[in-house]
Structure 1
């Protein structure tokens, strides 16, 4: 008689497995590039065969698309939560900085993958990613406009992108310091960059 206490259901740990696959793919894509990684490589990293990954993703491009869609969506949702929470513009800016700095410190592989591999995402998903990113930027611009009302939106938007470049340098810079030391450094540098917006003609 079958021991039902040990029987696996088709959905057992399915969500966890999908998360494991995405994390492994991000690490491999960052280290070896999208074209340098096979489905078999990703499967091997999580202890399954390459073909078994097709239960979760239709292919390598779909996996890459979900990686970047997921992180873009999570960043935008976190920014919306920060902007809609009670508090002054300074409080909101602190919350936004925490969102971006946490991402930069905890997900350097995803930063590398986005910078290098977005062009390999199929076009419909790429448009969605770009749209989510634009919406994320606009949350920052809205708050910065409250802090620097005399600055035109294009300058605030350009400054936001430049600040992201500073914070998203962690694939190169974070290895020099422990996260608990890197976090205040990134925050201080970002704050200094923001403070300079209104002083530049």
Structure 2
């Protein structure tokens, strides 16, 4: 069934987003074309382009809610230093990862490449500040390694344990993060 091209609807916009999320989950961002998304929705590629300027715009809209929460977390972290910044970063990132685990799962294998796109450069900068906060702004390699492992591990766990209820996953992730990220002196 093809969608009427003369009158695109808001429902079509949402259907395109949902189809893109499903396709990205199956074949990855790079492995998904606009034509693949259009085919899944049952519309033409032109209809997809009516709603989204390009595939990057589609990804941007899919990720916008998670990025907004990440930016808010970055602002909260900036209000603290040392162990307090570390605590805010760990708790905030766990909350973000649990809430947006579907988005993390969609992109986790391609995340480093996606961060190189101009639309996501600010996400790269926020990620670096998050990592520094998780390390309690320490220059010690052990603190930075622990922060990197926690950051990557939280994201991977949220993607891998999608069936675990939030009320179980969140405390488990926080417990691991707090153990791994003991403040350094």
1:116 aligns with 2:88: no
Q: Structure 2: which 5+ runs fail to align?
A: 1-6
What TM-score, normalized to structure 2? 0.68
Hey, what's the Cα distance between the residues in 1 that align with 2:100 and 2:62?
12
Aligned to 2:155: 168
Q: Structure 1: which 5+ runs fail to align?
A: 1-9
1:52 aligns with 2:42: no
Contact 2:16 2:41 in 1 (8 A): yes
Selected match of 1:136 from 118, 127, 132: 127
What TM-score, normalized to structure 1? 0.64
Report the count of equivalent residues. 178
Cα distance change, pair 114–84 in 1 and its aligned pair in 2 (3 A): same
C-alpha root-mean-square deviation of aligned residues, in Å? 3.9
Q: CA deviation at 1:100?
A: 1.7
Q: CA deviation at 1:141?
A: 1.8
Hey, what's the Cα distance between the residues in 1 that align with 2:39 and 2:51?
15
Cα distance change, pair 45–130 in 1 and its aligned pair in 2 (3 A): same
1:74 aligns with 2:72: no
Hey, what's the Cα distance between the residues in 2 that align with 1:88 and 1:119?
27
Q: CA deviation at 1:171?
A: 1.6
Hey, what's the Cα distance between the residues in 1 that align with 2:66 and 2:124?
6
Aligned to 2:28: 33
Cα deviation code 1:51-73 (max 9, x no counterpart): 21111223334433x25873674
For the pair shown, which has the larger CA radius of gyration, 1 or 2? 1
Contact 1:141 1:153 in 2 (8 A): no
Q: CA deviation at 1:22?
A: 3.5
Cα distance change, pair 157–45 in 1 and its aligned pair in 2 (3 A): farther
Aligned to 2:170: 183
